[in-house]
Amino acid sequence: MPPEAPFGIPPDYEYAPRTGWTRRHWLAALERMLGGVLQCFGKEAVSPRIPASRDGDALARQLRNPGGVSEKLNRTMMLAATYMAATNRTTIEGFDGDIAAVYRRGIAASVRNPVPGKRSPETLRLCPGAHLALLLGWKHLYEPLDPETKARLAERLRENVTRFPNESNLLLFSMTPAMILERMGEDYDRGVSEGMFTRILNMYRGDGWFIDGWNQQFDNYNFWGFQLYLHLFMYFDRTWRERYGDAIRAITAMHETTVPYWFASDGAPIPKGRSLNYRFAAVSGIQWAQKSGLSSLSGGLARRIASGCLKYFLETHRCLRDDGILPIGYRSENTAVGEDYTDTGAPYWAGTGLVALTLPEDHSFWVESEQPTPADGAVIRRIAVRGAEMALKTGGSRGEARMYIAGEPFRHSTIWQAGSKYYQHAYSSSLGFALTGDLGPELSAGRTGVSPDGEVWAYRTRPRVRALNADSCLSEWDAWLARDRFEGLVVTKSFFLDRGELHVFTHHSSRPQYLRIGGWSARLRRNQIPTDFPGSETGDGPEAPRVEKEIGRMILSSDFNYSAMLQVAAVPMVSGRIACVTLPPREGFSHSHLFGGMSCWPVWTSDRPVDPGEPVAIFVDAALRAVEGAWTPPNTDHLAELTAGAIADLRMVGQEDAGREAPI
């Protein structure tokens, strides 16, 4: 299939001047995914046997909360429901059977027993994916069920409604069955769901953003997950729409002010946080907002963002395997991306990112011409998102989107590769980041660090915001949060420049300590993956980083991108060395970079213990080789000026937190 004809359908750049994608491309993508899943159903099977990953077995061996057979059934059911709602068909080319009948068989098997108190991978039950599927595919999935199955379904849904998960996005999963029961005309305790709605709204933090309750984080998942469900509720539940519609409309308007900054000109979202293998689910929230009618985005802009994201994953990087399976990974199959709950059915939550197919063909989403996003413009644009303790930057010649983390209260610092996915100073749509696979060691890439002996390190963990603007932030973190018996407060003033970032940092401790900071990761080719590196003729490798090094400066280059680091003069000047760290994949994983391949990055480390309050200034930058063939040094006079102002800000922090120890 030539790249100019995704899914064999020519692009239409008159209708879609940015992506070339039409509704036909969307439907073809859905059919390809659904067709791959349907081939995994055996005769009379109640759940698809999605094949194991071909990318190592380490993740599968260490799963603690696998979705199992239920997740495979439930999440792929969303694909089927979307297809049937969009086409009013229950058959598809290449599958000899009735799609609705296959999934009704799974529903009937899932409701035979009560909802288990403890989740088992082999216990079949209905969970969130099936709830969404029933609402979307009512005509084909619910109405033909026999009376006994409908009665059992009502019992199982009541059990779900009265389940009390922890105070997080899981509340949304327990609220959805209420809408199904309402539509069935069944009795249930409405008050329980009303209370959950209030608890969800209490998680709102401003600028359209919700914090994930008990988990206490801002990330890829709650960027779009809360929007998906709130607009699902507004669309299907009249009572909630009348009560909360105005509030949700206002929240959505603020959220959709920031959404366009999250996506690059090539459609890539900024990868930050967990559940990145859900891929184009990132655009499900804006599609449900279009469906509810409470969106502030024009149809043309919403489709530009959504089509761009679909194109990025499905066409540019071909995230589907040749057999139509959507594997664990990001651009391609990569189990290092997964968490301790990422089973082979998990990636199919991406199906929520195709729900716009259920909009009428004459809806403005499909009728209006695509409109440009901030990333499409020649001017660099920035926005501070204080409700989520971050800033976003996009546009310009690079066309990428970057996120700057001023604060990240995520409480689970020892799981889900939190250091790499949550605590870096910045994230990029085009650069990705280094990964070790779940339960791997802490990495210095993109983070500040402190050490009493220069051997054992604590790296940036649960940073707190002290000040945030569109072009800079002041943040801090405690060493004892990262490592027991460590002490010290690390404070950083970061500047978000047109090209690159300047980080001026120090520590406040009871004694001198070594300081460190890691730069952007460079992606190295491995011979196990098809190459998508500009200028590289084959995927034979592995590739070694090319290193240009001078005193106080290092430039790492690969066929994919470069990563630069420069120490900026400060008074007094802290001596240090810049080294290159290369990260091979851990045993049982094939990759150590989000996009596939291996990672390397520059890291600056002080030569001696640094006195409390003594500042260090480091400039970092990175870009794709296809966009910028070589690194252009920054204006050092400007960096020195910024550094001088930052030192004054660091001193203002003072010594009030010096030597602060972990609470007992």
Residue type, 463: P
Burial letters 578-602, b for 16+ CB under 10 A, else e: bebbbbebbebbbbbbbbbbbbbbb
**DSSP letters along 155-189, please?**
HHHHHHHT----SSTHHHHHHHHHHHHHHHT----
Residues in the chain: 664
Q: Which residues contact 124 (CB under 8 A, 6 or more apart)?
A: 46, 47, 69, 70, 73, 106, 109, 110
Cβ–Cβ under 8 Å, residues 515 and 610: yes
Two domains, one topology: 6-376 and 442-653: no
Residue 119 is predicted with a pLDDT of: 62
Block residue for tokens 């990240």: 408
Residue 100 is encoded by which pair of tokens?
């609705």
Give, to the nearest 10 degrees, the angle between helix 220-236 and helix 128-136.
40
Of 172, 202, 178, the closest CA to residue 191 belongs to: 178
Of 218, 662, 653, the closest CA to residue 481 belongs to: 662
Residue 538 is predicted with a pLDDT of: 46
pLDDT digits (tens, 9 = 90+) for 28-66: 999 999 999 999 999 899 999 999 999 999 999 999 888
Residue 208 is predicted with a pLDDT of: 95
H/E run at residue 107: helix 99-110
Residue 579 is encoded by which pair of tokens?
């080294």
> How is domain 442-653 classified at the CATH fold level?
Beta-galactosidase; Chain A, domain 5 (2.70.98)
Q: Where are the domains of the chain?
A: 6-376, 442-653
Burial letters 194-208, b for 16+ CB under 10 A, else e: eebbeebeebbeebb
> How is domain 6-376 classified at the CATH fold level?
Glycosyltransferase (1.50.10)
Of 279, 277, 257, 198, the closest CA to residue 233 belongs to: 198
Residue type, 157: L
CB neighbourhood size of 358 (10 A): 18
As a whole number of angstroms, the distance between CA 602 and CA 565 comes to: 7
Q: Which residues contact 37 (CB under 8 A, 6 or more apart)?
A: 48, 50, 76, 79, 324, 325, 348
Residue 165 is predicted with a pLDDT of: 78
Walk along the chain (664 residues) in steps of 10 and give the mean pLDDT of each run: 72 96 98 98 94 93 91 98 98 96 97 70 89 98 98 94 84 94 95 94 95 88 93 97 97 97 98 96 98 98 98 97 96 96 96 98 98 96 97 97 96 90 97 95 98 98 97 97 94 98 96 98 76 48 90 95 94 92 96 97 98 96 92 94 93 61 47
As a whole number of angstroms, the distance between CA 285 and CA 196 comes to: 20
DSSP structural state of residue 92: B
- Chain mean position to CA 100: 31
pLDDT digits (tens, 9 = 90+) for 231-272: 999 999 999 999 999 999 999 999 999 999 999 999 999 999
